[in-house]
Amino acid sequence: MEGLADMTFLQSFTGGNKEKVNKYINIFLQIYPKNMEDMKNHLSNAEYDRLRAVAHSLKPQITYMGIKGGAELIQKIEKNAGEKIDVENLPSLLDEFQSLCDKAVVELKQIVGA
């Protein structure tokens, strides 16, 4: 089964060092739930600049974790929130992003044995 989390970048970035790979995965596993919660709160309060900022800070993490489709989604969320365009689509974009990341989190936890 092809997973959602492609470790190619992270393996290259860490030189294949398993401890470093696990460290970066664990950092993501710690920050992702809080960032997701923050984005939803900012959206519900129409705080689009804050939503954009959180999405922007999460973007490199998604890339490091190699979450397929995640980088494109978080970029769209960041762009739409920052430019305040298609804001009516932000709830569904956030839901799609969360669903994708939640599935990837299961895989990442298996990788680190959490």
What is the per-residue pLDDT for 3?
83
Q: Which domain, by its residues, includes 33?
A: 8-112
pTM, two decimals, is: 0.92
pLDDT tens digit sequence for 5-49: 999 999 999 999 999 999 999 999 999 999 999 999 999 999 999
What is the per-residue pLDDT for 1?
41
CATH number of the domain bearing residue 75: 1.20.120
**2 within a domain of the structure (yes/no):** no
Q: How far apart are CA 40 and CA 45, in angstroms?
A: 9
Q: What is the mean pLDDT of the chain?
A: 94
2 pLDDT above the threshold of 70: no
* Tokens standing for residue 9: 């970048």
Half-sphere exposure (Cβ direction) of 21: Cα atoms closer than 13 Å: 19
Domain count, the chain: 1
